[in-house]
Amino acid sequence: MNRNVRFPAIKVKKEGAEEVRKFLESRGVKDRKRLISVDGDHVIIPIKEEYADRDLLELSKLRMDFEIVSQDKPVFARERNLKDVLKEVIPTHLQKFVPKSYKIIGDIILVKIPSELDDFESQIGKAIIKLHPNCRSVWRDFGKEGELRKPNLRFLAGDKSHTETIKLENGCLFKLDVKKVMYSTGNQHEKMRIAKLIDDEVVVDMFAGIGYFSIPISVHSNARRIYSIEINPDSYFYLLENIKLNKAENIVPILGDSMYITPERVADRVIMGHIFSHEFIEVGMKAIREDGYIHYHESVPLAIRERPIKRLVTTAEKLGKKVEILEYRKVKNYSPGVIHAVVDAYVH
Q: What is the residue-wise DSSP string for 206-246?
A: TT-TTTTTHHHHHHHS--SEEEEEE--HHHHHHHHHHHHHT
Domain end call among 162, 190, 206: 162
Question: 336 with 223, same domain?
Answer: yes
Residue 250: burial class (beta carbons within 10 Å; 0-12, 13-18, 19+):
middle
Q: Write down the pLDDT at residue 34.
A: 85
Q: Residue 150 is part of which domain span?
A: 81-162
For each successive 10 residues of the chain (348 residues), what is the average pLDDT? 67 86 80 84 84 63 77 70 87 92 92 95 93 90 79 95 91 93 82 93 97 96 97 96 96 98 97 95 97 97 96 97 95 91 97
Question: 204 with 120, same domain?
Answer: no
Question: 63 with 111, same domain?
Answer: no
Inside any domain, residue 175 = no
Question: 39 with 131, same domain?
Answer: no
Question: 202 with 297, same domain?
Answer: yes
- As for how many domains the chain has, the answer is 3
CATH code for the domain of 55: 3.30.70.2580
- Quote the CA–CA distance of 33 and 12 in Å, as a whole number: 19
Query: How many other CB atoms are there within 10 angstroms of residue 94's CB atom?
Result: 14
Q: Write down the pLDDT at residue 302.
A: 94
Q: Write down the pLDDT at residue 56.
A: 65
Domain end call among 70, 91, 118: 70
Inside any domain, residue 2 = no
Inside any domain, residue 76 = no
Question: 114 with 134, same domain?
Answer: yes
CATH code for the domain of 110: 3.30.300.110
Inside any domain, residue 22 = yes
Domain end call among 20, 45, 70: 70
Question: 207 with 340, same domain?
Answer: yes
Q: Write down the pLDDT at residue 183.
A: 87
Q: Write down the pLDDT at residue 118.
A: 95
User: How is 101-137 classified by DSSP, letter by letter?
Assistant: --EEETTEEEE---GGGGGGHHHHHHHHHHH-TT--E
Inside any domain, residue 155 = yes
Inside any domain, residue 207 = yes
- Please indicate, yes or no, whether the overall pTM of this predicted structure exceeds 0.85: no
The amino acid sitting at 118 is D
Compute φ and ψ for 206, nearest 5 degrees: -75, -25
Question: 53 with 96, same domain?
Answer: no
Q: Write down the pLDDT at residue 6.
A: 73
